[in-house]
Chain A
Amino acid sequence: EAQVTQNPRYLITVTGKKLTVTCSQNMNHEYMSWYRQDPGLGLRQIYYSMNVEVTDKGDVPEGYKVSRKEKRNFPLILESPSPNQTSLYFCASTTGVNTGELFFGEGSRLTVL
């Protein structure tokens, strides 16, 4: 089954404790991206990757890091989480970059205390 898998789905952590949210897709997509969803703000892009070893900042990259060492994986790293990073995070992938028809994971709800 074609899918984008995120882990963990739910996480409560404390300020400053490094965490990684993993994302894996099995569709051989070149393009992957991370979004966060906050009430009243919709989905905002954090980082994206056009291919292996190619990453770039989205609209809200502060406080986040990413890496793309393999085509299928695109982890999101919070080196020192803060409460304003409490949010619902979505990983997405696509091969049809020109159209924007993204496949999304189920989301990871992160709470930073």
Chain B
Amino acid sequence: DQQVKQNSPSLSVQEGRISILNCDYTNSMFDYFLWYKKYPAEGPTFLISISSIKDKNEDGRFTVFLNKSAKHLSLHIVPSQPGDSAVYFCAANRADSSYKLIFGSGTRLLVRP
């Protein structure tokens, strides 16, 4: 049973528009959430994170929103750029077992010029 789910395998958006990537989780004990970005033939790289005590974290064009009651988080990219085209992984962990980072299956984002 996947504890972290990314139900959209792919997403295509126009350059300059907003990209919204979604992630759902089932374990209410998760208290730290991360997004990773992966280009082909490279390893994932950390993008942005959020603690469960917050509902929003912003870093430049990237904003992560957390809705604890719905067990849902989303990554907003505004404005989207062609260089953002990559696979995005959502991940979660628990403070009492923070070495057990659980990843979603990923969403492939294509930003069209």
- Which residues from chain A sit less than 8 Å from chain B, CB to CB? 4, 31, 33, 35, 40-45, 48, 50, 56, 58, 90, 92, 97-107
Contact = CB atoms under 8 A, between A and B. Distances in A.
Chain A interface main SS type: strand
Interface of B: 2, 4, 6, 9, 32, 34, 41-46, 49, 89, 91, 93, 95, 98-101, 103-106
Nearest to B92: A100
Contacts of B32: 98-100
Contacts, number: 63
11 contacts: A33-B99, A40-B105, A42-B2, A42-B6, A48-B99, A92-B43, A97-B98, A100-B34, A100-B49, A104-B44, A105-B43
Complex A-B, nearest 9 residue pairs according to Cβ-Cβ distance, in ascending order: A104-B43, A42-B105, A43-B103, A42-B103, A100-B101, A100-B93, A98-B98, A101-B46, A104-B44
Contacts of B46: 101-103
A98 B43 contact: no
Contacts of B34: 99-101
